[in-house]
């Protein structure tokens, strides 16, 4: 778990993750950027990655303006070598990773009837939404085991719990992430590592999913970030294994 119980600074109530290091994939925009901002506000150092260098640098400047220690690293999380380079750079510059948020995701060409989809579209969605979680987690976990604690928070979707027409590839990726997360939780709890999964409904981001939504009837990135932060600062003897997050107004 994040070492919140060992902090004795005067501002620990306001900065409960002071001294912690958070690694966030897909942290340059949308949900990932909001999560990075939430953790910076809680006192943690933040490492973010993405493929758009311009957006990464902009996000880093905004985070640094809050006083946080920040590393922005260009990386494609579907490539194991780039993942390992990102993890190593984070640990070298910021310290041992105490919280991992696997946020990077895509709908890509994943929406539509299965018979109309290509192998390329399947691979794009599966590699980003599922294989990347395997790559990043595998790179981070050994250090957490040595330190006897950590949090891994995987951003899934309510599409990982429900099916709908045209969602075959996307739902498969998120159902797979649910299964991976549950098994990781069982594998790692003996090492003091908590694995949780957040399942949001529709969120107002650049990722449109099946189509545009009424902004008054969807979640904001900050809603998801709040849920992630809540999971991370849970007391040390328990963990929230799964969160379902829905807008108040039904779409």
Taking only the tens place, the pLDDT of each residue in 178-210 is 999 999 999 999 999 999 999 999 998 765 555
pLDDT digits (tens, 9 = 90+) for 151-181: 999 999 999 999 999 999 999 999 999 999 9
What's the alpha-carbon Rg for the chain, to the nearest Å?
17
pLDDT digits (tens, 9 = 90+) for 54-104: 999 999 999 999 999 999 999 999 999 999 999 999 999 999 999 999 999
pLDDT over threshold 50, residue 28: yes
**Residue 220 to residue 203: CA distance in whole angstroms:** 5
Range 138-143 average pLDDT: 98
**Residue 119 to residue 63: CA distance in whole angstroms:** 38
**Distances 247 to 2, 163, 183, 225 between C-alpha atoms, Å:** 28, 19, 28, 14
Closest to 145 in 3D by CA, of 82, 93, 96, 81:
96
Please tell me which residue, 251 or 136, carries the higher pLDDT value. 136
User: Structure tokens of 103?
Assistant: 């946020």
Range 202-227 average pLDDT: 81
User: Structure tokens of 80?
Assistant: 């194991």
Full 3-state SS string of 94-105: CCCCCEEEECCC
Beta-strand relationship, 242-245 and 99-102: unpaired
Torsion 79-61-197-232 (CA) sign: positive
**What is the separation, in whole angstroms, between the first and last Cα of the chain?**
36
The domain locations on the chain are 18-245
Task: Give the per-residue pLDDT at 10.
Answer: 41
| Homologous superfamily of the 18-245 domain (CATH) | NAD(P)-binding Rossmann-like Domain (3.40.50.720)
Task: Give the per-residue pLDDT at 11.
Answer: 47
Residues labelled as active-site residues:
170
Closest to 102 in 3D by CA, of 39, 149, 48:
48
């Amino acid at each position: 778990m994040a070492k919140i119980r060992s902090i004795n600074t005067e501002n620990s109530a306001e900065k409960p993750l002071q001294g912690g290091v958070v690694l966030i994939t897909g942290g340059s925009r949308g949900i990932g950027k909001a999560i990075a901002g939430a953790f910076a506000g809680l006192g943690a150092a933040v490492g973010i990655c993405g493929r758009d260098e311009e957006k990464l640098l902009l996000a880093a400047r905004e985070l640094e303006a809050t006083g946080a220690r920040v590393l922005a690293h260009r990386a494609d999380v579907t490539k194991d070598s780039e993942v390992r380079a990102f993890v190593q750079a984070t640990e070298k510059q910021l310290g041992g990773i105490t919280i991992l948020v696997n946020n990077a995701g895509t709908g890509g060409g994943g929406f539509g009837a299965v018979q109309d989809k290509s192998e390329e579209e399947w691979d794009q969605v599966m590699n980003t939404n599922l294989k990347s979680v395997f790559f990043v987690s595998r790179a981070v976990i050994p250090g957490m085991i040595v330190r006897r604690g950590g949090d891994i928070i995987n951003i899934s979707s309510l599409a990982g719990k429900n099916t709908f027409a045209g969602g075959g590839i996307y739902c498969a990726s998120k159902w797979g992430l649910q299964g991976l997360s549950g098994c990781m939780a069982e594998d790692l709890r003996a090492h003091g590592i908590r694995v949780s999964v957040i399942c949001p409904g529709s969120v107002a981001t650049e990722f449109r999913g099946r189509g545009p939504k009424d902004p008054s009837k969807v979640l904001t990135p900050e809603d998801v970030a709040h849920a992630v932060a809540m999971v991370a600062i849970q007391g040390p003897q328990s963990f929230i294994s799964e969160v379902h997050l829905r807008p108040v107004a039904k779409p």
